[in-house]
Structure formats: C-alpha cells, structure tokens
Amino acid sequence: MSGSERPRAMIAGTAVSVDHYIGGRRVASPGTFEARSPLDWSLKLADVSAGDGAVAGAAVAAACEAAEGWAARGAAGRGVHLRRLADLIDGSVEVLAEIECLDMAMLLESLRRRVIARGARNFRAYADLAESYSERTWASNGTDNRVQRMPAGPAVIITPWNAPFMLATWKVAPALAAGNTVVLKPAEWSPLSASLLADLAHEAGLPAGVLNVVQGRGAEVGAALVADERVRRISFTGSPETARSIGAAAAANIVPFTAELGGKGPLIVFEDADIEAAARTAAGQFDDSGQVCLAGTRLLVAEGIAEEFRQRFDAHTNAHVLGDSRDPATTISPLIHPEHLARVEGFVERARRAGDTVLRGGRRSRPDGLWYEPTLIRPAGNDSEIVQREVFGPVLTLQTFADEPEAVRLANSTRYGLSGVVFTGSGARAERVGQAVRAGTVWVNCFGVRDLAAPFGGCGISGLGREGGDYALDFHSDLKTVQVRQGTTG
C-alpha cells in the first residue's frame, strides 16, 4: 500500500478513481492492472490499483472498526443512509451506465433503462425489509421466546465481471441493511462501477469503513480477504472453481458463505406451447452475448414441433444485430475479454472435433473485435461437453425429446441447477414439470422475471445457500433466541 490517491482516470468525461476505498478514503497500491474496453480492446480505460494481502488486511480492519457503530444504528438509522445512496444512484444513471458499458460492454440502453435503476431499488428494498422485520415470538415451557437478528459482523463480498454494478448492489445492500460492514471486491475484468459506487456511498454519508472497495486479482487480494479470520460472512458470485477455494477458506474459519455460481439451464418447449413465444425467448438467450448465469442454454424441444420451432428461432436469431453496445440498434455486445473469447472458441472447436454439429454460427463475427456469432449446436449425445459445461457465451445446444419424462430427465442431467424455463399451454404440466426440474428458479412461459423477495440461488454446483429478500438478511445475521421465564420481569 502506498497510501496517497493517484490521479483519477478521465473516462467518457467522468473522473473515475483507480484506487481502493478503505476507511472512507482512497488508498493506492504500487502495482496496477489494466482496465480495457471490450468495445475496442486497443482502448485502455485505466491502470487500476492491484491490491494485495496488506490491502485486504487494511480493508478488513476498517470494516471491523466501523462494525459496532453501524450495527448500533439499528435498521431505521441505516435505512436513512441506504435510501440516500439509492437516490444518488438514481441521479447518476447516465454516468454509471456509460462507464459500465465501456468497461463491460453491456448494452447502454438496457443499463440506462433498467439495470442501474435495479441497483438503486436493491438499496431501497433492503432498507424497507430490514426495518419491517418482526421478531418471531411464542410462549412454551413457561418462557416467552423471541427470535432476534444480530448483525453478524464484517462481510466480504466478491463479485464476477458480468453485470458488475447490479450484482454488487444486490449483495452489498442486504449486508449493510442487516447491520454488517462490508469489503467489496469486484472482478478485475470490470472494476470501474464499484469504484463509482464507493464515491456515491461516500457522498451518501456512509460512515468511514462501513463500505470498503478493494481492487485486484482474485488469487491475491480476493484470497487474502476470504482467509481473514476477522471476517464473519462471505458472499460470493462467480464460478464453481473459485467457489471451491473460497469454500475451503470459509471452512477453515467456520464462516458461513453463500455461493451463486454458474448455470446450464434447460429451456423446455412442449408441443402444447406458444411456439412463437418460446422461440423468441430462446433467441433472447443470446442477449448480453450469453454472459448470463441464468440463461437457458440447453434448448429441449418436443420432436413434433422441432422443425417449426427451429424456423421461428432462426428468424429471431437472424434479427440480432452485433455491434457497438452504445448503438441503440445493437442487440449483441462483444464478449468481455480476449481470453474469454478464446475460451468460448475452444468450447465450440472441441464440440466440432467431438462430433457435435454446429447448426449455425460457430465463429468470430469479425477479426477486429470480441464478437462471436450466435451459435446453435446439435450435440452428438447428452454427455457432450457442450451440453454438460457452462460456456458463458452466445452458444446454445438443441436437443429433442419424445415425451415429458424424457424432457425432465434431460433437464436434470447436468451437475448444475440454477434456473430452468418451461413453455407449455397446460397448467397441469406446468405444475408437474415446474416441480420436477431441479433448479433454484423455474420460469413457466416467461424468462428472467425477478422478484427481490424470492429466494435466489442454485442446486448442485450452481450454488450454496440462498440470497434474496429475507433469506439474504437472515444469512447476514446471527439468529438468536431469547427466553424469559414468564412472570419474572415487569
């Protein structure tokens, strides 16, 4: 750590801090990493401070120092700050959207119209929920019993590079509302919006040390954060591989952790479905270039309607426009990073070599950028790698099924279980298949509709624990039972 703040980077007219935010002030590291724009990889946005063990230790120390005061404010006192922060986010939509678009390449219009606003809603909703908590009370065995929530203590939150602002706010808001102080580490491929969030938290008057943001590589500063024995909660979103090593660190310190991980969701289309709606939704899985954990990437279609489905799916896919994410006509953005593009290419090349059939796409769309064509693959078998592993790019598989039991069997045939999508016109079938699909969220005749109060998480290697609504507040609390002998207090 070198201490003093380095000059801010001027990005699209906004001065963005490239340093950590610890204990209410900016702190630089001597080492840096580059933030580049996926829209034009030759464009370096900033050299960002790369944290290390010392930075992690300082951030956790700041969070510990602020913990008691923040907890003592109570839900209402904390809510004042969180609502002020939400208002500031709403007032900064344009800046946040532009920086996020340059940093991560999510579509600018969608950031402006919905994604950033969701960040503000996260803070308001959790402020409301924490305030409305009512203790469970009952009498038994001659005692009055009450269940209380105690803030658990400093929480470490580690987020991935896709949807960085939305995911950071979705995880930071419940931690703060529950009374915990936070150290947030965003992903090194999209670090900038978290830095803006720190500025807004500062402006909202959050006391020093309540929210700290450290930048840097996962294996360095991230690993040091999760190994720190002063940390009382770890909330992680990312890949199963990283979750394993974070889980080991959490186990060593007996710290509860939640893991929201990858997916390989089925999108099942029965013969009684609205085929047009199903095909439109299926082609919509290419949005954000498929870099969406919840995406229904395995298309499972009833044999009898497969041809019609495919025609309609192709028509919608042909209408996609690959381009600059700032252009309102663009529907498919570039991938986040050359390494990720190479990873996606590797999946498709291995699928070809293994005998899977590439039905459309299967290549970069232009040599000078990070775009990959919307790709559809018919696997040689259900055990093909392309069916069994998350690609996290614009690559879908297409399989057909003969009947409902086969559809369910295929749907549940991977190690993941984050989401599932079912298209059917039958209420009874919706009920049966909705129950039978093993996933944290199942959508019937819709996709991506989210309610903040609903539990969110995955089965199998898609995750551990649940966040969302009261589930997140419970996770960030130590639940305590107080029993008072009846008739012994006034």
Q: Given the rule CB under 6 A, which residues bind ligand NAD?
A: 158-162, 167, 185, 187-188, 218-219, 222-223, 226, 237-239, 242, 245-246, 260-263, 293, 390, 392, 418, 458, 463
Q: Smallest gap, in angstroms, from Cβ of residue 92 to ligand NAD?
A: 23
> Given the structure tokens 């929920």, which residue do they identify?
129
For ligand NAD, the nearest residue by Cβ is 218
Give the separation between CA 3 and CA 24, rounded to whole angstroms.
13
Does 293 qualify as catalytic in the annotation? yes
Q: Smallest gap, in angstroms, from Cβ of residue 416 to ligand NAD?
A: 9
Please list, in sequence order, all residues whose beta carbon lies within 8 angstroms of the beta carbon of residue 415, skipping any fewer than 6 positions away: 388, 460, 461
Using the minimum distance from each CB to ligand NAD, give the nearer residue, 242 or 424.
242
Residue 201 burial (CB count, 10 A) = 28
Using the minimum distance from each CB to ligand NAD, give the nearer residue, 212 or 237.
237
Q: Smallest gap, in angstroms, from Cβ of residue 340 to ligand NAD?
A: 8
Catalytic residue among 98, 293, 373, 390: 293
Give the separation between CA 29 and CA 22, rounded to whole angstroms.
12
Catalytic residue among 109, 260, 373, 390: 260
Using the minimum distance from each CB to ligand NAD, give the nearer residue, 375 or 462.
462
* Phi, psi angle pair for 204, to nearest 5°: -75, -5
What letter represents residue 323's amino acid?
A: G
Using the minimum distance from each CB to ligand NAD, give the nearer residue, 219 or 251.
219
Does 373 qualify as catalytic in the annotation? no
Written as six digits, the tokens of 32 are 């840096």
Q: Smallest gap, in angstroms, from Cβ of residue 83 to ligand NAD?
A: 25
Q: Which H/E stretch holds residue 150?
A: strand 143-151
Does 203 qualify as catalytic in the annotation? no
Using the minimum distance from each CB to ligand NAD, give the nearer residue, 188 or 199.
188
Written as six digits, the tokens of 361 are 């796409």
Q: Smallest gap, in angstroms, from Cβ of residue 30 to ligand NAD?
A: 19
Does 385 qualify as catalytic in the annotation? no
Catalytic residue among 109, 188, 390, 467: 467
Q: Smallest gap, in angstroms, from Cβ of residue 480 to ligand NAD?
A: 29
Q: Smallest gap, in angstroms, from Cβ of residue 247 to ligand NAD?
A: 10
Using the minimum distance from each CB to ligand NAD, give the nearer residue, 222 or 469.
222
Give the separation between CA 83 and CA 75, rounded to whole angstroms.
12
Using the minimum distance from each CB to ligand NAD, give the nearer residue, 23 or 457.
457
Give the separation between CA 279 and CA 311, rounded to whole angstroms.
9
Please calculate the CA angle 108-111-115 and round it to the nearest 5 degrees. 165
346-352 contact pairs (CB < 8 A, 24+): 347/385, 347/386, 347/389, 347/391, 347/393, 347/395, 348/375, 348/377, 348/386, 348/395, 350/385, 350/386, 351/377, 351/379, 351/384, 351/385, 351/386
Catalytic residue among 171, 185, 188, 390: 171
- Provide the β-strand partners of residue 269: 301, 423
Q: Which of the residues are catalytic? A: 171, 260, 293, 467
